[in-house]
Amino acid sequence: MSFPQSFYEAKLHRSINELKRQKLCIGKSMTQKEAKSCFTQ
């Protein structure tokens, strides 16, 4: 695999994990402050 391809795949994988975590954040009922800290982790 070429460098750019593996680099972008890793980036994509990371953003998918981010989305999953944010989805977990949204799934919980939280205060606005908690939600903010959840997204900025």
DSSP state of 41: -
What integer pLDDT is reported at residue 24 of this predicted model?
A: 74
b/e string for 6-36 if b means 16 or more Cβ within 10 A? eeeeeeeeeeeeeeeeeeebeeeeeeeeeee
Give pTM, 2 decimals: 0.43
In this structure, is the dihedral angle defined by the CA atoms of residues 14, 15, 16 and 22, taken in order, positive or negative? positive
* Per-residue pLDDT tens digits for 1-41: 577 888 889 888 888 888 887 777 777 666 778 777 776 66
CA-to-CA distance for 29 and 39, rounded, in angstroms?
14
